[in-house]
Structure 1
Amino acid sequence: MDFTQYYITAILLDKPFSSLLLPKEYAKMIQYVDCMVDTCSVVMVAQKYGEEDNNQAFKSIKEYVRKQKHNGTSEFYYMDSVDQQFIHDEYATNRQVRKWMDDAVKNALDSGNGGCELEEVARNIYSMDTVLLLMRSRIVVGQCSQDRAPIEHARNIAVMASQAHQWPVFIRAHLDIMNDRFYRNTDGSYAQAGRGTYLRELEVLDIPTQQLLLGSIFRGTDIPNKHYYGNLGRIGRAFTESAKAGEFEKQVKKMIKDKNLDPFNQCLFSMVYYSYCNWQSNAADRVAKLTDFKKDVTACPAYIRAVFRSEE
């Protein structure tokens, strides 16, 4: 047997493993994330992969609309605003329609057999809290890299949560969109450029996004279990769209070179900045920022310089 294709990598530790205490200013950033993003909150209330087609009560409603409003045509597929108003009116006076609708909502909440169409009809009949719960009771999985259904579903949840004054749900749903935290059967990198981060929407709300997003990057041993962690690549990209990109650059560069910050977190922020440089919309800006920063980190440890090695 030819053993020349095998090798062993040995790592020599020049000092024992140790834990470092995060400086107070960084610990406060982690705390801020937990204040803004409730560690007890979730976006989805149940892990259910139901189908609206399996909701028999809602199918009965659609069949009723097809016969009453569309002369029984076989080409009726989706209820428009006129049909939705018809169901709203019928719900107030027709006991059978009321039962179908209530059963449809219950089935969606219990089994995840909901969908956009049911939610749109429910908006005219039930409270915002109930409609929001319907949305949060079904998981949308992207069928391919280009499928925007998971993003649209999270956006609808965020909008409804804002209207229902449910801040914990709103901020988590919005951050999930920003961090692209969704289920997909396939996810090719070619499609990622088309998924916006929507950071500016949070800035318009006067949310201190820099403190919030950078605080979600830190890693440590005693951070709460439900702490919200951000995606390094997406956060770097998000700040290319920020109105305060200059402040972001200044703060992250300072953190990377801060000798009081542990090496692991220094590396994480190096990767965030690397992403920020690579997502510059202008190619000249991209090259300039990478070149300038490589000069800045010349005196930094090798583990930080290694982040930019691929650019050499």
Structure 2
Amino acid sequence: LLIEALEYAEENKVSNGDLEDFTAQLISKKRALELMRQNRQVGTCSFDNGPIIQQKRIASLASETQNWAIFIKSFLNVMNDNVSRNANSNIASNARKTYIEELAKLDLDIDKILLGSNVRIEDTIRKHYFSDGSKIAKAYANLNSDKQKYFENTIFEIIKNKEIDAFNKLHFYNTLKNYQYFVKDSIKKIRLEKDIENLIPFLPKEIKSRIENPNKQLYDLLYREKQTLDNFDIKSSIIANIYSYSFDGDCWQAELIDKKSDGKIIYDLTMAIGEE
């Protein structure tokens, strides 16, 4: 019966956890691995760990069968929280561990895997895994000092290299900013802040101008309200996705300080993108 169930599952591309476990224990771990890979898990909500557990099972069985390509991909899926869910939130994703310490124990070129997957390329015909920059940053923040030093120096070299394109320079700059956030050592945080400031002159001028004047885009957008806007200082401005009963979509969110109030009166501005 088990063999018949296995053959049916393989032919019809279906599976379940029990069949995968029995196949691995009694018939073939390699065939069980293929069952797991075709058994795509979709989480019901942001906090559903089912898809992550499935990726861990795949990584575990891939290591037992010495299928290192699948092992590394599944491990990166776990580290990046790169799974399917019907709903997702940053709160749930940020709370999950990267498990990078476990990968670091293996005899693998971990820097090549992490930094390589953080590079952005246009030619997606080639097989390239795209990691989340914030997850890469969080992973390195949990590695030893030698790994962290290599990570920092590599990003310094990338940003200073004239041959690197503007998009990758900005991406690695943001990765370094995220890394500074995740680093636990307060003294190191201060040192990194200075290092990041020293990298700004090496960025393309269009990126550098936005970093030096982060609210420029909002100023440009509200040029018709310039006379009114001149009464305020823009403390911060971001684009955020808002879900509510009355609106669903991207919005500008900004904090405006009344210049006449000595910083005591602050207004919150929320403006839907695309509306006049």
| Aligned counterpart, 2:201 | 299
Deviations 1:260-307 (A, max 9, x none): 32222111111111221122345x358525532343134334415745
Q: Which consecutive aligned stretches of 4+ in structure 1 deviate over 6 angstroms post-superposition? A: none
2-structure distance, mates of 1:191, 1:235 = 17
Whether 1:245 and 2:145 are equivalent positions in the alignment is: no
Corresponding letter in the other structure for 1:265: N
Question: 1:224 Cα shift?
Answer: 4.4
The 5-angstrom pairing of residues 88-237 of structure 1 reads: 100-222=1-123, 224-237=125-138
The 5-angstrom pairing of residues 2-151 of structure 1 reads: 100-151=1-52
Whether 1:267 and 2:170 are equivalent positions in the alignment is: yes
Corresponding letter in the other structure for 1:210: D
Question: 1:148 Cα shift?
Answer: 0.8
Cα contact 2:156–2:199 (8 A) shared by 1: no
Deviations 1:230-251 (A, max 9, x none): 2212111111112211221121
- Aligned residue for 2:101, secondary structure, equals helix
Number of corresponding residues = 212
| Aligned counterpart, 1:90 | none
**Deviates most, 209-218 or 284-293:** 284-293
1-structure distance, mates of 2:209, 2:199 = 6
Cα contact 1:271–1:307 (8 A) shared by 2: no
Cα contact 1:278–1:286 (8 A) shared by 2: no
2-structure distance, mates of 1:146, 1:290 = 33
Whether 1:288 and 2:190 are equivalent positions in the alignment is: yes
2-structure distance, mates of 1:200, 1:101 = 38
1-structure distance, mates of 2:211, 2:131 = 19
Question: 1:163 Cα shift?
Answer: 0.6
Cα contact 1:256–1:266 (8 A) shared by 2: yes
Distance 1:297 1:124, change over 3 A: closer
Corresponding letter in the other structure for 1:300: F
- Aligned residue for 2:83, secondary structure, equals coil
- Aligned residue for 1:299, secondary structure, equals helix
Higher strand share goes to which structure? 2
Cα contact 1:178–1:197 (8 A) shared by 2: yes
Deviations 1:28-78 (A, max 9, x none): xxxxxxxxxxxxxxxxxxxxxxxxxxxxxxxxxxxxxxxxxxxxxxxxxxx
1-structure distance, mates of 2:209, 2:56 = 38
Cα contact 2:160–2:202 (8 A) shared by 1: yes
Cα contact 1:145–1:184 (8 A) shared by 2: yes
2-structure distance, mates of 1:307, 1:200 = 33
1-structure distance, mates of 2:123, 2:19 = 43
1-structure distance, mates of 2:80, 2:187 = 24
1-structure distance, mates of 2:25, 2:112 = 39
| Aligned counterpart, 2:160 | 257
Cα contact 2:180–2:193 (8 A) shared by 1: no
1-structure distance, mates of 2:40, 2:191 = 40
Corresponding letter in the other structure for 2:82: R
Q: State the TM-score, normalizing by the size of structure 2.
A: 0.68
Corresponding letter in the other structure for 1:167: W
Q: State the TM-score, normalizing by the size of structure 1.
A: 0.61
